[in-house]
Amino acid sequence: MAAAIDAPAAVPPVRPRDPVVWLRRNLFSSWPSAVATLVLAPAVAITLFRFVRFLVVDARWEIVRVNLALYLIGPFPRDQVGRLWIALAVLAVALGAGAGAIAATARETAEAAGRPLNAGWGERIRRAGPPVLLVVGILAFASGVEPVLLTVGALGLGAAAAAVTQRLSPRGRRAVPALTVLGIGASLAIISRFGGVPATDWGGLLITMFYTIGALLLAFPIGILFALGRRSTLPVVRWGCTAYVEFFRGSPLITLLFVGWLILPFFLPPDFPTPGLVTRALIIFVFFTSAYVAEIVRGGLQAVGRGQREAAQALGLTPWKQTRLVILPQALRAVIPGLVGQAISLFKDTTLVLIIGQSDLLAVSRSVTKQDQFLGQGYIVESLTFVAIVYWVISYWMSRESQRLEARLGVGTR
């Protein structure tokens, strides 16, 4: 009885998402933090209230509703929109398969390490929340149910592809990366080839995402090669890679775009076909981004200890296998924040193509306010707000996915 009386009462475990605990740890952890919270909280609350009121009550969204197609695809011929829906379905399947393969590999790796990866519905909703809310918000401005049904169908195909891929064996998932890249290329061919629409007639969010995804896919491997080249023992290779990186990192992107627009054709042979304006802009984005990727990856390579290479040498690995299997994976893991930051920067830098006559998302937001029914009525605020929300949601989602990947890989903890 005495032992029972003297035994301390069991302390209930603190729930990790308890609001009171979260407030105490993040907003009232010390008296300066509490004072700052009490001073800034009213200003933040008022700002959020005014912003939400503007979005829901005061804003005149008819400019977006009337010109939604221009915001999304620009001057793309309306009789060819069916190609976009087919390409979207193919792209959803390709990306869904890639996401499923990544999720299955991560789950198996976590289980092998003795820490099962349990992603509940709450986690899945939080991950899909930003892009789903963006799609729902865009569809709210659409007229009719056809765009809604087609969008839901494409998302359903992507989810089905992810589910099927997760059930494959590790050996069966080896071909998924190649199939994903092939699907991205097939979606591009569906839009632009076989009597399709040339890239010069693209615009809006379509051309923005084309520049972003295309430049990232091409610049990433090129940047890795130049990062490895800067560490080469051959002086010619090292100096050449250093010159390339320093030139493009030291040149303003807007200047390079003007060079690609006006000067690049003069350096081509007389009989060489001049690339189109979109192709030239994409080449500039690839060169510019690959230089930054090379410098980011080089920093990651320097962060890998010499003992890792010595251990790989002790295992009898060739220099190529040492780099591919031991050094480079650790370097890329260490620089995930920098790489994602560069991707977000590239996504926002694509707005500079308006100076060379490209009708990207930002250019459309300005041009629609010059229509007769909206001219001189201050609709620029609503137009720019819509575009800003699109850019912010996509950038925020990329940032959050980067943080989840860092936490899964233990970046900065081990």
The reported pLDDT for the residue numbered 394 is 92
The reported pLDDT for the residue numbered 414 is 52
Q: How much of the chain exceeds pLDDT 90, in percent?
A: 29
| DSSP-based three-state secondary structure for 243 | helix
pLDDT < 50: residue spans in the chain: 1-16
Asked if residue 83 lies in contact with residue 191, where contact means CB atoms within 8 angstroms, the answer is: yes
Domain ranges for the chain, please list them. Answer: 76-197
The reported pLDDT for the residue numbered 122 is 64
363: which 2 tokens?
A: 């250019």
The reported pLDDT for the residue numbered 329 is 84
Q: What is the DSSP letter of 368?
A: G
Distance CA 95, CA 162 (A): 8
Asked if residue 280 lies in contact with residue 357, where contact means CB atoms within 8 angstroms, the answer is: no
The reported pLDDT for the residue numbered 346 is 92
The reported pLDDT for the residue numbered 14 is 43
Distance CA 34, CA 24 (A): 9
Distance CA 248, CA 291 (A): 6
- Looking at the DSSP bridge assignments, the partners of residue 100 are none
Among the listed residues 346, 370, 343, 365, the one whose alpha carbon sits nearest the alpha carbon of residue 354: 365
Q: The pTM is what?
A: 0.85
- Looking at the DSSP bridge assignments, the partners of residue 413 are none
User: Is 409 buried (19+), middle (13-18) or exposed (0-12) by CB count in 10 A?
Assistant: middle
